[in-house]
Chain A
Amino acid sequence: MSSETSKPGVKRREFLKVVGAGSATATMIGCSSERVEKLIPYFVSPDQTVPGVSTYYASTCRECASACGIIAETRDGRTIKLEGNPDHPVNRGALCAKGQAALQGLYNPDRYRTPMVRRGGKLEKTTWDDALKIFGDKLAEARRNPGGVAFINRHQSGGFPQLLNSWLAGMGMAPALSIDPDADTTAIAANLQTFGVAWPRYDFASTRLIISFGADFLDGWGASVPQQLDFADARARGANAPRFIYVGARRSLTGLNADDWIPAKPGSELAIVQMLSGASTPQQAAQASGVDVARLTALQTEFAAAKPALVLAAGGGPNGMELCLAANALNGTSGAVSIADAYRGFEGIDPVSHIRALGQRMQGGGVSMLMVHNVDPVYLMPKSSGFRAAMAKVPFKVSFSSIMDETSEMADLILPDNHSLESWGEAQAVTNTLSLQQPTMDPVFDTRAIADVLLAVSRTTGTPIATMPDYRSLMISRFPGGAAGLAAALPKGISSGSVQQPAGSKALPQPVAAANAGNGDFTLLVYPSPALGMGEGANKPWLQELPDPVTKIAWQTVAEIHPATARKLGVENGDHVIVETAAGKLSLPVYTYQGIREDVVAVAAGRGHADSAGRYAKAGSNAFDLLTYAEDRSGSIMLGSTRARVTKDGGHSRLVTTEGSARQHGRGIAQAVVVGQLGGTHEASGSEHAAEAAPQGSVSGEQKERALGEKAAAGEHGGEEGHPEFPGDASHEFLPGLRSPTAKDAQGDLGGPGTKSKEKGMYDPEHWSGMARRRWAMTIDLARCTGCSACVTACYAENNIPTVGADWQGPKVLPDRTGFGANITRSREMSWIRLERYFEGGEDGGADFETRFVPMLCQHCGNAPCEPVCPVYATYHAPDGLNVQVYNRCVGTRYCSNNCPYKVRYFNWFGYGEPARAQYAFPEPLNWQLNPDVTVRGKGVMEKCTFCVQRIREAENRAALEHRGVEPDEFTVACAEACPSRAITFGDAADERWTVAKLVNDERAYHVFEELNTYTAVVYLKKVNHPGAMTTSPVAAPEVH
């Protein structure tokens, strides 16, 4: 039902357009139904949409250069969820956290809502007519000296760059710089030289060994999503899986997925690659890298034996170009590098040296007009580059940024671009395939697509670049089949074809070496944050709140140092240290991390924007302030060559971490097997504790089933004989399969004749409703999970989970816990699913440790500890296996959370979903994204994973409308749908036609805390370890008895 309380101050046009049929279900708490609500009808009903039923638009994600396909779910005129497009050749249905969070770019409260112009030194709102007139006049002025005009464009593939360059060329201006701060332009330059393509596809499955030299191919290095899909597929191949060795000064997320880590000195990777190519000896490499000769010899031996092997290397070091070229040369003939399947979206990215050179020109007064589109060079360029001061000298600066940032803050005219979800476009995904981009909704604010602005301005300035009025018409004009052809291709989101990319043949400015790399005992390593990238994600609260997959830190910038270094400095977690370089110094809280060399201090980039970048982006500190500006041979910035001094500072900050302990303490939460212990086939063997069992799984599947049956029977028996049953006591009777309890049903008078339904009602499998014949369940394959945390953001998006870390959301009564992340320091984060990260081995702080990632969510126990302790029956076990939380009933005793062994219940402390409260998590228009199928919880209720019950109900409703049953694997939950490693499978474990029903009987299957008899519905499949000659860490979990 369409409903919306009428609000004064909302622009009527927007109100009609978007609110038209609003969302009754995304309502706030409140007992009273006395408040007068209005039902606002559409003025004219949009075609082909049904209120309350989603419409889906295929489009393209523009958050990075990969050009993944997305399906945007749009309800009543608002886009509410992004999924991967299953038919897209790049991401094949998966979508990373950054892609999910594009929605928070669309609905960001810090977006520019109108054009702005600087008058009297201040930016003021203006109209498009006014802004375009100013722009046209200034362009006419600038055309007299076209050489003095520069354009910095956010890199994107497709037709727009060509349009932009012909627009500039029409006025005699130089082509735009195409900047992608997240792209490794060193590796791209090397790839172009070696393979002739910017980013080839790496065929992980065909290799026997992967060696990565700082190449974080799972967290931001290149086409992360498809690389993760391919990597997970390769590693899921059991005995045929490639081994993976990571070489680098810091173990990144990708490094944590490696079987072995070689902690080489920053910048010494080249020496090891040269050893592998036979150009030097292990002794020479050991001397350069500070690594044991024995380890390097083992690496050399393994590399020589493994055919084919894949060697990947990233830039960022002092000799990045040489390193990447040498690594590429090692792959030369291995066949693991597929050039035909290259990701074409990475073509034409310009290295940062162009911006530096532009800065020098601006400094010299050679630039009269600067135009910037969705790049933030003022933030990105280290202070030591002097870019900011240089830009201030430009007389007229135009920004096309859709969102507030440091660069647009300095602009004289802001012509806000539409968000990519509001724009037309296309991207070159792979060879001969265009990924189409279409608006998924009307613009949220009074913004205009930059392409349309350029087309309009080109007509008024007398240099028309096309006869078409807007970019959509332009797309149609060159699309095979015209408008009809485009309309036919849009639902799929892809079409065959290619768009000529502007040649990236701008002359590379002479690289500058570090003027002064400084001195100090440490090397500073600045790395792109897996969630925030180089800072573009910082204005999105989902990404700020997403704990870093490695450090588990949110909202905060920390200095990562080795525990031994911390001991030497006399500091512990949270104590402040001063990191000082030639460029500047920062006081940062310490995070001790054993995955880092003792002579390295690492700081994640992306946080610490200026106040002008909006309310979220200012959290944390800016790592670029520490960087001494230097370039490698490809013109890319060096991130790991600055020397630093680290000294103890006085203060202490609580770490904004979601982590309790990095160790399992024998609890067996994340279990693993060694690859040799796996049976040949999935049916052949099964053991709850594979490490206990004989190598070739001596317990047959049937035996296991029988054993489990006996266990269940014993439980039932014990219940009946040993203990009297109390009202509200968990049942002692279980349905077969993945055990689900039966219960007495107060309403159970609907059973058919001859059934037990009289007493058991819907808990009787024979009951007409058939509810108890289902058991919703999930499997999570730890051999596939890489810890990337895309599932977490997908869950935030699907389930209206509030972020709690913004500085206005903290507890007001605790002065020592204010600022960003204050709630998280009190463990008040709300993430229904979280990524636990455990280290095994290396207790002495050594480099030989193994990492296990465990997505932890409500286990939907068949015998749930939370249920019997609830005094008001707010949580109970549904007949179809869900552990249900009824918000109406919940009075907030939090007993359930106390009794939950998995700690997956989250209490809504402050009413984050209530607009009237100071802690409101969805400032307008972020609340437009809220999923109308999911309740926005109010203050004082317990919440937790629901197994996306709204999706279950939606599937059931759809099936009922079509007079059929729910088909196997017809739908899945949000985390599983997003997962870029396909680790999560959801479905009905009681129906063997579902995939999950097969997986729960996998030989690697286990339940977390099985000894508690919780009979969980989430079944984990043990991680598979691939130890090598150099591996010394324990490879299987300590067993729990």
Chain B
Amino acid sequence: MIKQRKWFAIPGFLTLAAAAAILSAYAGASSSQGNSPAQPVPFPHPMHVQTLKMNCVYCHFSANKSPDPGLPAMSTCMGCHTVVGTSKPGVQKLASFASKNQPVPWVRIHKVPEYVHFPHMRHVNAGVSCQTCHGNVQNMAQVSQQNSLNMGWCVNCHVGRSNPPFKARYDCATCHY
């Protein structure tokens, strides 16, 4: 009797374990937390933010007025780098893009899942710092994704469980439409 039961229990257990493994692997795949791809031109945020004291919205110019945070145009980069740091290999790489009238094809890191709308300006104007979501980019020589950007992570803040607490609507259609 016991022996018989074992022959049912073992495959059953194995199936469950396999299912759990697949599901957890799938769940992990839905976030690219920790992703830190190399960029076509190395952009040292610490140099620009800490040393040169540049504000985030100097380059990400529409983060406080548009759903879209804004990506600096090549002309913004070349405004300084036509004369500044021209001996550095990264700047030379940038200049070679610019001389060919090509934009730098930056690799995207932060992306909320599909079917979600994330208006940057609402968050910025509510006093949510850039670092709350993006991590301490000012310290990152190469930017990596610090947070999962998954729904549970978003909602945690919207329902006021963050520190400091924020209050925001958590109705589905606030973001999903």
Contact = CB atoms under 8 A, between A and B. Distances in A.
B85 interface: no
Nearest to B116: A888
Contacts of A21: 68, 71
B73 A42 contact: yes
A53 B65 contact: yes
A40 B103 contact: yes
B104 interface: yes
Contact of A882 (B32, B105, B160, B173): B173
A961 B106 contact: no
Contacts of B167: 750, 768-769
Interface in B19-58: 29-32, 37
Contacts of B71: 1-2, 21, 39, 41-42, 51
Interface string A938-951: 00000000100110
Contacts of B82: none
A51 B66 contact: yes
A1039 to B, nearest CB: 36
Interface string B92-107: 0000000001111111
B152 to A, nearest CB: 12
A11 interface: no
B12 interface: no
B37 A36 contact: yes
Interface stretch (A26-34, A281-289, A606-614, A636-644): A26-34
Interface in A854-910: 876, 878-880, 882, 884, 886-888
B115 A888 contact: yes
Given A50-B65, A52-B66, A876 B104 contact: no
B177 interface: yes
B172 interface: yes
Interface in B124-164: 125, 155, 159-160
B104 A888 contact: no
B107 A36 contact: yes
Contacts of B72: 41
Most buried by B among A1, A769, A953, A960: A1
Interface residues of B, number: 49
B114 A953 contact: no
Contacts of B62: 50-53
Given A21-B68, A33-B111, A933-B117, A957 B73 contact: no
A726 interface: no
A33 B31 contact: yes
A747 B173 CA distance: 15
Contact of A953 (B75, B113, B115, B177): B177
Contact of A42 (B65, B74, B177): B74
Given A36-B37, A960-B125, A43 B75 contact: yes
Contacts of A702: none
Contacts of A933: 117
B76 interface: yes
Contacts of B73: 41-45
Interface residues of A, number: 58
B67 interface: yes
Given A3-B111, A43-B73, A43-B101, A52 B171 contact: no
B32 A33 contact: yes
A960 B73 CA distance: 28
Nearest to A938: B114
A934 interface: yes
A51 B70 contact: yes
B105 A51 contact: no
A43 B75 CA distance: 6
Interface string A523-546: 000000000000000000000000
Given A41-B73, A45-B76, A884 B172 contact: yes
25 contacts: A1-B69, A3-B111, A6-B105, A21-B71, A24-B68, A33-B113, A36-B108, A37-B107, A37-B111, A39-B105, A41-B71, A41-B73, A41-B74, A42-B74, A42-B75, A44-B74, A50-B70, A750-B167, A878-B171, A880-B171, A886-B176, A946-B173, A953-B117, A957-B122, A961-B121
Interface of B: 29-32, 37, 62, 65-76, 101-108, 110-111, 113-117, 119, 121-122, 125, 155, 159-160, 167, 169-174, 176-177
Given A27-B114, A33-B31, 20 more contacts: A6-B105, A21-B71, A28-B114, A31-B113, A36-B37, A37-B111, A38-B107, A39-B108, A45-B73, A52-B68, A771-B169, A880-B171, A884-B171, A886-B115, A888-B113, A935-B177, A950-B117, A953-B177, A960-B122, A961-B65
